[in-house]
Structure 1
Amino acid sequence: MQLGRWIHTSAMLVGLSFLLGGCASVSPTSNGLDQWLADPALQGATVSLVVRDARSGNTLYQHNPRTRLMPASNLKLLTTAAAMDLLGPQYRFSTQLLSNGIRQGDRLTGNLYLRGLGDPTIQFADYQALAAQLASQGVRQVQGDLVFDDTWFDAERLGVDWSHDDETTYYGAQISALTVSPNSDFDAGSVLVTAKAPVRVGVPVSVEVFPPTDYLQLSNRAVSGPGNTYGINRRHGTNLLQLSGAVAPGRQSQQLVSVWEPTQLVANLFEQALKQQGITVLGRRVMGATSPAGVTVQAEHQSAPLQELITPLLKLSNNNMSEALLKAMGRKTANSGTAAAGVVAVAGFLKRQGVDTATLKQVDGSGLSRQNLVSAQTLTDLLLAASKQPWFNAWYNALPIAGNTDRMTGGSLRYRLRGTPAQNNLHAKTGSMGGVSSLSGYITGAHGRRLVFSMISNNYVVAGAQVKALENRVAVALSRWDD
């Protein structure tokens, strides 16, 4: 989410600790946790921290355990665990090329439908492959319309109460059942904009957009020069990208920017792909119509299975993938590809695991909304329940692992807790928004005792790095747990 994929370094904190009221330990020793929760950086903030034995579920330490707070990307723990249970580890997203027409030589008489079933991992090359599959069947002309069917999900492109400040960012990209990702991180609904600065100062930068498309328009006022002032703004309701500022001479800057209406971008790209294969469509482009009964599959692309997709999702805290899973769960359980139906599906999973859903509020899949409210108690309930599931190992390994510098192993924790007992020990989900930080997961103590824990901090006014440093110190204290 907003800061969920940024790298948080552990800033060293200076100052004496003052004991805060309301910290209750049910263990003979707090193992130093009282000290870190009493740090001045958290003065005036609200913190919920729960530590439990992973085998028995017994509470070892608690501080405001049932206080509901904004969890940021820790909400993805709920979404992905429910998805592994409801959709299954082998679940695959699908994108289909369909027709209600009849083949007559190299002509297809009837409409051609590109039907998206929510795949946030599909890329331009995959759409090109779908067009190539059609061409390999000898089709050169479609005597009908080209219909882009994104009706598997609803038309609500953004989550509930998402901030307008996030609208142009990759982590706030619009959600569609028919979308495209510009990279292997699967940042669906975005394009990659590369600005290259000439060596000569004052000369305009050159700009490349990937996937290559004329769906976006550029207003380029960026130049080669000092100051590192380059930036991109997408005007609301449009795909006009306004580039301004300076890029250092001879250097380049790459930035992901969300698009307005990703289904339209897919239409632009797929029409390109058909032309590349020498396939002509005589009819119209039709947007958002439902594929009729009786159509036949001409070509199909499937994603990797969910048990593999949760690795980039959790390691890199991918919002769009989380929202696609939420709506996919709604579609499966209630035949409704909406976030609201997905939330009901997640609640059903939690209830079956004995988690009290009356004590939490979920409105999206990623945690980007500030209306989400969860307590550390609830998150530890989930962590304990997940550990008993047949899919647990895949889900556990998909969590970021502290201090492991491999990007798809350490994820958002890869630069944190190096050289401590928590390195390659802590498996946990991070979360960050303005004034919000969270860390929840699994860690092994000094004598081999497996712990689950959750720490959520809200309403602090210090730099986020200071709170991340406190989370690190809590993790180290847990890695040294000695009772």
Structure 2
Amino acid sequence: MNRPSLRSLFRPRPSSSLRRIAATFTALLAMVSALPAIAQTPLPAEVEAALQRARLPADSLAVMVAPAEGGAPLIRWRADQPVNAASVMKLVTTYAALDLLGPTFRWNTPVTFGGPVDTDGTLQGDLYIRGQGDPSLVLERLWLLLRRVQAMGVKNIAGDIVLDRSAFVLPPHDPGAFDGEPTKPYNAAPDALLVNFRALTLGFVPDLLTGRARVLVDPPLAGLRVPETVALAPARTACGDWRGGLQAELSDPERISFAGNFPAECGEKSWPVAYADPDHYGARAIQGLWRAMGGRLAGRAREGRAPVGSTPAFSAASPTLAEITRDINKYSNNIMAQQVFLTLSLQSTGTGSFEASREVVRRWWRERFADVDPPVLDNGAGLSRDGRISALGLTRLLQSAWRSPLMPDLAASLPMAGVDGTLRRSQAGAGSAHLKTGSLRDVAAVAGYVHTASGRRYVLVAIANHPEAGAARAAFDALVAWSARQ
């Protein structure tokens, strides 16, 4: 008797009925694969009309409008296409952070005394300030930190002020690489010890009696020379492009100068600029402010490491993450978003880096939105040519947030149309839409919630990728108005 081979035992031949079932199943698969991947719904007529007036093709848009609580979308147009969403990408960073860290999370900046404090107020050693990624160590909070050092009896420092920036591991940064605007504060790089967004604020106060404008600078950077005054423009010169009229030279880290003049018609003005030597900004700012507060420093402010295992004299706490999220989304603050993004890996692995944070968010995304491809993240702020996300992905995120206990924190962080933030001048959906905006060369985007008169809430996502993407704003306004009427 012939025995069956082992191969035949593990690979039985299908019966004729099984073969017929398999053939039918294969045919069905072929039919399904021939269908469109995701059914689309047409854009509203008023949106298409606005696109035609702007001479933008409909396929330059990715749009989705769906009930906030979930359910069938009202509009689904190219919603599965990965596109560049510019600053709308901040929604991914801030919602992931609220979910992973919690809305009450705070950054703590430890301050350590490297020796005893004598009775005459001299710290016999170095003062260590260890950065932990605080996005909000602005001038006022830095002053409070140094004021607390003085309140603990330190008037003089016999050593140095040592700034520990080792919590983040970052690649080299060229502030002009993104758009050729190195003096714009939004191009500043993140830093574990980020002081005042690495920005200077130049103030101009005209004095008609002297014919000059007084020049103010905050913070007072150690070693930076700034003229006390600048000449006023001829009488009755319109304010206009007063920044260009100053002909400022900002590229020298030791000196700022002005070859032009300032129009008195402008009144008092302030001008935030990025400092020419960002890596040394923190040291110069802290040293300059310490001395401006009356403190003495025998050494200098410099980069270094805090002693391992040392006990801090105190830690300066930041506002909560919920408060930080409002600043990020309402005003589209790029560097704060990057600080939050890097904090995700700092809290997860002990060191903050862009690649590690991208992996943290990818894992988080797959756990919550397994049926939607994760976004392609760069720096977490959307200030990138490489970031990608679909309108479907953003819709799922916003629907998830709406059903979450975190909804009040995220929704309150979005600009309200006609009221505040980047939408304060918008009249589309004024008072009824909370939308994050995004804008880059070739990109315009909005995403958030629209509240209707009937009490319904809809998620709205609209993204344009096109050389004339800025012209899509009228179509976005039409979409918001259409959604509010549903």
Pairwise TM-score range, normalised by the shorter structure: 0.7 to 0.9
Amino acid at match of 1:70: N
Q: CA RMSD in A?
A: 3.1
Partner of 1:430: 437
Q: How far apart are 1:398 and its partner, in Å?
A: 1.2
Q: How far apart are 1:386 and its partner, in Å?
A: 1.5
SS of residue paired to 2:264: coil
Q: Distance in 1 between matches of 2:374 and 2:293?
A: 55
Amino acid at match of 2:354: A
Q: 1:446 to 1:32 in 2, by over 3 A?
A: farther
Q: How far apart are 1:73 and its partner, in Å?
A: 0.8
User: 1:189·1:262 contact (CA, 8 Å) conserved in 2?
Assistant: yes
| Bigger CA radius of gyration | 2
Partner of 1:416: 426
User: 2:444·2:463 contact (CA, 8 Å) conserved in 1?
Assistant: yes
1:192 aligns with 2:208: no
Partner of 1:468: 473
SS of residue paired to 2:79: coil
Partner of 2:463: 456
| Mapping for residues 363-382 of structure 1, pairs under 5 Å | 363-382=378-397
Q: 1:216 to 1:435 in 2, by over 3 A?
A: farther
| Mapping for residues 55-134 of structure 1, pairs under 5 Å | 55-105=69-119, 106-134=121-149
**Structure 1 range deviating more: 239-248 or 57-66:** 239-248
Pick aligned residue for 1:253 from 269, 277, 289: 269
1:332 aligns with 2:347: yes
SS of residue paired to 2:65: strand
Q: How far apart are 1:44 and its partner, in Å?
A: 8.2
Q: Distance in 1 between matches of 2:392 and 2:160?
A: 54
Q: 1:269 to 1:471 in 2, by over 3 A?
A: same
SS of residue paired to 1:468: helix
User: 2:65·2:75 contact (CA, 8 Å) conserved in 1?
Assistant: yes
Q: Distance in 2 between matches of 1:278 and 1:456?
A: 52
SS of residue paired to 1:224: coil
Q: 1:234 to 1:116 in 2, by over 3 A?
A: farther
Q: How far apart are 1:273 and its partner, in Å?
A: 4.1
Amino acid at match of 2:286: F
Amino acid at match of 2:216: E
Partner of 2:34: none
Partner of 1:213: 221
Q: How far apart are 1:131 and its partner, in Å?
A: 2.7
Deviant stretches of 4+, over 6 Å:
219-222
Q: How far apart are 1:56 and its partner, in Å?
A: 2.6
Amino acid at match of 1:90: T
User: 2:62·2:464 contact (CA, 8 Å) conserved in 1?
Assistant: yes
Q: How far apart are 1:379 and its partner, in Å?
A: 0.9
Partner of 1:305: 320
| Mapping for residues 256-405 of structure 1, pairs under 5 Å | 256-262=272-278, 264-275=280-291, 279-287=295-303, 289-355=304-370, 358=373, 360-404=375-419
Q: How far apart are 1:206 and its partner, in Å?
A: 3.3
Q: Provide TM-score, normalisation by structure 2.
A: 0.81
Partner of 1:479: 484
Q: Distance in 2 between matches of 1:160 and 1:191?
A: 15
User: 1:91·1:305 contact (CA, 8 Å) conserved in 2?
Assistant: yes
Amino acid at match of 1:213: L
Q: Provide TM-score, normalisation by structure 1.
A: 0.81
Residue segments in structure 2 that go unaligned for 5+ positions in a row: 1-36
User: 1:103·1:109 contact (CA, 8 Å) conserved in 2?
Assistant: yes
SS of residue paired to 1:322: helix
Q: How far apart are 1:72 and its partner, in Å?
A: 1.0
Q: Distance in 1 between matches of 2:185 and 2:257?
A: 16
SS of residue paired to 1:400: coil
Q: How far apart are 1:31 and its partner, in Å?
A: 6.8
Partner of 1:41: 55
Q: How far apart are 1:390 and its partner, in Å?
A: 1.8
SS of residue paired to 1:361: coil
Q: How far apart are 1:222 and its partner, in Å?
A: 6.5
User: 1:130·1:299 contact (CA, 8 Å) conserved in 2?
Assistant: no
User: 1:23·1:34 contact (CA, 8 Å) conserved in 2?
Assistant: no
Q: How far apart are 1:388 and its partner, in Å?
A: 2.4
**Structure 1 range deviating more: 336-345 or 232-241:** 232-241
Q: How far apart are 1:159 and its partner, in Å?
A: 8.4
Partner of 1:10: none
Q: Could you report, residue by residue, the CA deviation over 1:452-479 in whole angstroms, capped at 9, with x for unpaired residues?
A: 12100011427x3x42222111100111
Partner of 2:167: 152
Q: How far apart are 1:240 and its partner, in Å?
A: 4.7
Q: 1:50 to 1:355 in 2, by over 3 A?
A: farther
Q: 1:114 to 1:397 in 2, by over 3 A?
A: same
Q: Distance in 1 between matches of 2:174 and 2:344?
A: 16
Q: Distance in 2 between matches of 1:283 and 1:241?
A: 25
Partner of 1:18: none
Q: How far apart are 1:426 and its partner, in Å?
A: 0.9
Q: Distance in 2 between matches of 1:392 and 1:115?
A: 33
Q: Higher strand fraction: Structure 1 or Structure 2? A: 1
Q: How far apart are 1:412 and its partner, in Å?
A: 1.2
Q: How far apart are 1:328 and its partner, in Å?
A: 0.8
User: 2:354·2:379 contact (CA, 8 Å) conserved in 1?
Assistant: yes
Residue segments in structure 1 that go unaligned for 5+ positions in a row: 1-21, 182-187, 405-409
User: 1:180·1:262 contact (CA, 8 Å) conserved in 2?
Assistant: no
Q: 1:200 to 1:64 in 2, by over 3 A?
A: farther
**Structure 1 range deviating more: 332-341 or 351-360:** 351-360
User: 1:199·1:224 contact (CA, 8 Å) conserved in 2?
Assistant: no
User: 2:79·2:390 contact (CA, 8 Å) conserved in 1?
Assistant: yes
SS of residue paired to 2:403: coil
Q: How far apart are 1:367 and its partner, in Å?
A: 0.8
Q: Could you report, residue by residue, the CA deviation over 1:437-459 in whole angstroms, capped at 9, with x for unpaired residues?
A: 10111113454332112100011
Q: Could you report, residue by residue, the CA deviation over 1:325-378 in whole angstroms, capped at 9, with x for unpaired residues?
A: 011112111222112222222222212211557453110121111111122111
Q: How far apart are 1:48 and its partner, in Å?
A: 0.6
Q: Higher helix fraction: Structure 1 or Structure 2? A: 2
Q: Distance in 1 between matches of 2:209 and 2:299?
A: 48
Amino acid at match of 2:422: S
User: 1:157·1:175 contact (CA, 8 Å) conserved in 2?
Assistant: no
Q: 1:151 to 1:388 in 2, by over 3 A?
A: same
Amino acid at match of 1:424: G
**Structure 1 range deviating more: 152-161 or 81-90:** 152-161
User: 2:215·2:230 contact (CA, 8 Å) conserved in 1?
Assistant: no
